[in-house]
Chains A and B, each alone.
Chain A
Amino acid sequence: QSVLTQPPSLSGAPSQRVSISCSGSSSNIGNNVVNWYQQVPGKAPKLLISYDDMLSPGVSDRFSGSKSGTSASLAISGLQSEDEADYYCAAWDDSLNGLVFGGGTKLTVL
């Protein structure tokens, strides 16, 4: 059971917009920055978003991050087949005194 809660799976058709949620608490998302990662099977994760909503260099602007209270979201617009991957949120947790990841969301492009 992850401290940060993500939907296990999500799907969308090409060109659609999808949003992946990450729910936490005041000890993590509510008080610290959120980062988002994309992981293609068999590969290392790739940093997409840092500081809640800052796009990493070289990452498509179809990706965007946002945060409100104790929840964060990653939005992907203009969905493409290459976006099919696992997505993880992460944040420091003040109570656990460690970095925590969400359980991951498997995105399928229909």
Chain B
Amino acid sequence: QLQLQESGPGLVKPSETLSLTCTVSGGSISRNSYFWDWIRQPPGKGLEWIGSIYYSGNTFYNPSLKSRLTVSVDPSRNQFSLKVRSVTAADTAVYYCARRQGNSWGFDYWGQGTLVTVAS
């Protein structure tokens, strides 16, 4: 059974960089036709797609966040990561990592989510 687990600091100061890692177990991150994505959800609000990466390193970013984002992958560790630069309170959210089916853009496996709060 595929499992995803987010890890990283739960508190980040304004203007600093938010860094999260997703560790995939029970399957290979290098499997063809699947992408690895980040989605976030501000408290009490809806879902927002952040960005996506293929094991080869190809990335897709939400245009509204693109200038502050870096998504990377480490196939040797079966991990992928997210960095969001220059964070503000608006970046406070539960951050999910997920596996995406390539053609349908459906997220079929999700991590449990991790709350990141931006505050001084």
Q: Mark A2-37, 1 if CB is under 8 A from B, else 0.
A: 100000000000000000000000000000110101
Please give me the residue from chain B that is nearest to A56 by CB atom.
B108
- Per the bound structure, the CA–CA distance linking A47 and B49 in Å amounts to 15
Tally chain A residues at the interface, Cβ within 8 Å. 27
**Interface residue? B26 (CB, 8 A):** no
Q: A50 — which chain B residues lie within 8 A by C-beta?
A: 101, 104, 106, 108
Contact of A44 among B64, B96, B104 (CB under 8 A): B96
Question: Quick check: is A100 within 8 A (CB to CB) of the other chain?
Answer: yes
Per the 8 Å Cβ criterion, residues 27-62 of A in contact with B are 32-33, 35, 37, 43-47, 50-51, 54, 56
**Known interface pairs A33-B104, A35-B106. Does A101 touch B63 (Cβ–Cβ under 8 Å)?**
no
Residues of A close to B47: CB separation below 8 A: 37, 45, 88, 90, 101, 104
* Distance, CA A101 to CA B62, complexed state (A): 12
Partner of A45, one of B48, B60, B63, B110: B110
CB within 8 Å of A: which residues of B?
Answer: 46-49, 60-64, 96, 98, 101, 104-108, 110-113
Given contacts A35-B106, A88-B46, A90-B47, list 14 more A-B pairs with CB under 8 A.
A2-B46, A32-B105, A35-B105, A35-B107, A44-B98, A44-B113, A45-B107, A47-B107, A50-B106, A56-B106, A88-B47, A90-B105, A99-B105, A104-B46
Give chain A's interface residues, CB within 8 Å of chain B. 2, 32-33, 35, 37, 43-47, 50-51, 54, 56, 88, 90-92, 96-104
Sort A-B residue pairs by CB-CB distance and give the 3 closest, nearest first: A50-B106, A44-B110, A99-B49
